[in-house]
Amino acid sequence: MEEAAPGNGPFPTEDALAEFLERARTTLTANDVGDFVKPGRYQYPHQWNWDAALVAMGLSHFDEARARKEVRSLLRGQWLDGMIPHVVYHNGSSDYFPGPDFWEIEQSVAAPPGVHTSGLIQPPLLATCVRRMHRRAHDREASLDFIREVYPALLRWHRWLHRARDPEGTGLVAIVHPWESGTDNAARFVQALMQVTPSQVPAYQRRDSRHVSEEERPQHADYERFVYLIDRFRHWGYDPEIMYARSPFLVQDTLFNAVAYQAHEDLIALAEEIGEPTSEIERWRFRLRRAYNNKLWDDEEGLYFAYDARHHQAVRENGVATFMALYAGLADRAQAEVLVGAHLENPEEYAPDAHSRFRVPSQAKNNYFYEPRRYWRGPVWILINWMVMQGLERYGYRELAEQVRQDSLALMASAGFFEYYDPRDGTPAGASDFSWSAALALELVEPLPLAAAR
């Protein structure tokens, strides 16, 4: 009998751990269709923006050249104005809705020639994952060349975020569609979304419950509005000025801005590697941090809330996005203590209790909209756990970070690499063979040491 692998609780032996890692790698390679790795075997057959960033990071554990190719593929979809879209359709249409034609991106003067993409964005994780790939790289020269190659595209992307989505200079980047948050049906979007009146919704056929149960997906009322908003944007030729000024949905999101803030830090580190100036990025960070704490922090509740910039009100829903301020280092010590002590460790909200075993539910369990199986309304997501874990480490909550890591590994070890998991008993839900879960399994087993924070 072999010794248990230290720190890898769910794996009784080194062999069990090795077999788990092999399954993670195989999930990624089996989803590899050449130009890109599908986020899920059946449910998501194209290349998604933040999935691709995580997939590249996962691939870099065992195939650095293939990891770099993943990033290059995503960048082929970059628009002429710098936007990196949320989906790139390298392989034409499929049984996924919306397909490439639905977007009509040719209405935009900025659409990339010869590539089919969506017209929305997703949280800008790419610079963060590229930096992690670089920190891990064995082939330092190839990695440095790669940074030199992709840095201009990353800088244009970050610049676009502030120019197109913060034309008023608030410091915070706005999203115009819940899909842009990456957490489509989270409770923090309900209030803003339900104020969108979906008149004249174009004909469409949902396809998302072909491979996943309807109870685990967003509801009809959400989809009506998702589609209605896209129809507005294509009608406006995806002009960023018009979208910002007129989109009936305009939210300054906690998760999106925290991801952007961390990505700015990582972009600065990449710039320093190759001797590029950083003052423009430092300015975005400074203003984002100030606005994030002035506008999104609610002192009474001790939580960060998203802000509905169209209706000028905070969205007071308690969801896991509130902890992204820890991930990005946006909270001060006192805020961190409240977030962790009063909320993350509270069994009525996020900590395990008699009915719920796994950390971290995506919605507080006592939130009105909590549904433990429905997409972003409650299930545990490995990406979110990974970010919460990093936040806890950053603020010195080592033991709790380790518990989140162990829970994440235990879920994947027993149920496989799924899109999400029921926090009550770990039942897998959503898409199977989910690439970012597999990528993050590799990352959770072989984490990088904390980078010096700014």
CA distance 448 to 454: 17
Phi/psi at 362 (nearest 5 deg)? -75, -15
Please report how close the Cβ of residue 179 comes to ligand DGY at its closest, in angstroms: 5
Please report how close the Cβ of residue 48 comes to ligand DGY at its closest, in angstroms: 6
Annotate 349-361 with b (16+ C-beta within 10 A) or e (fewer): bbbbeeebbbbbb
CA distance 219 to 371: 12
The yes or no reply on residue 216 touching ligand DGY (CB under 6 A) is: no
Nearer CB in complex with ligand DGY: 170/437: 437
Please report how close the Cβ of residue 305 comes to ligand DGY at its closest, in angstroms: 22
Q: Which of 103, 179, 236, 381 binds ligand DGY (CB under 6 A)?
A: 179
Pair 57, 28: CB distance under 8 Å: no
Pair 162, 199: CB distance under 8 Å: no
- Between residue 281 and residue 300, which ones bind ligand DGY under the rule CB under 6 A? none
Active site residue 280: no
Nearer CB in complex with ligand DGY: 184/349: 184
How buried is residue 396: exposed, middle or buried, by Cβ count under 10 Å (0-12/13-18/19+)? exposed
Q: Which of 32, 51, 166, 184 binds ligand DGY (CB under 6 A)?
A: 184
Adjacent-strand bridge partners of 306: 315
**Cβ contacts of 206 within 8 Å, gap of 6 or more:** 97, 223
The yes or no reply on residue 222 touching ligand DGY (CB under 6 A) is: no
Annotate 17-29 with b (16+ C-beta within 10 A) or e (fewer): beebbeebbebbe
- Between residue 57 and residue 86, which ones bind ligand DGY under the rule CB under 6 A? 86
Nearer CB in complex with ligand DGY: 20/189: 189
Active site residue 419: yes
**Cβ contacts of 367 within 8 Å, gap of 6 or more:** 187, 317, 318, 319
CA distance 176 to 168: 15
Please report how close the Cβ of residue 206 comes to ligand DGY at its closest, in angstroms: 9
Nearer CB in complex with ligand DGY: 32/184: 184
Please report how close the Cβ of residue 208 comes to ligand DGY at its closest, in angstroms: 6
CA distance 412 to 418: 7
How far does Cα 271 stand from its chain's mean position? 23
Give the pair of three-digit tokens for residue 372.
């433990």
Please report how close the Cβ of residue 345 comes to ligand DGY at its closest, in angstroms: 30
Nearer CB in complex with ligand DGY: 46/295: 46
Q: Which of 265, 371, 419, 433 is catalytic?
A: 419
Nearer CB in complex with ligand DGY: 119/329: 119
Total residues at interface with ligand DGY (CB under 6 A):
4
Q: Which of 51, 70, 166, 208 binds ligand DGY (CB under 6 A)?
A: 208
Please report how close the Cβ of residue 178 comes to ligand DGY at its closest, in angstroms: 9
Sign of CA dihedral 399, 360, 37, 184: negative
Nearer CB in complex with ligand DGY: 46/156: 46
Adjacent-strand bridge partners of 356: 353
State the residues that interact with ligand DGY by CB under 6 A: 86, 179, 184, 208
Residues catalogued as catalytic: 184, 419
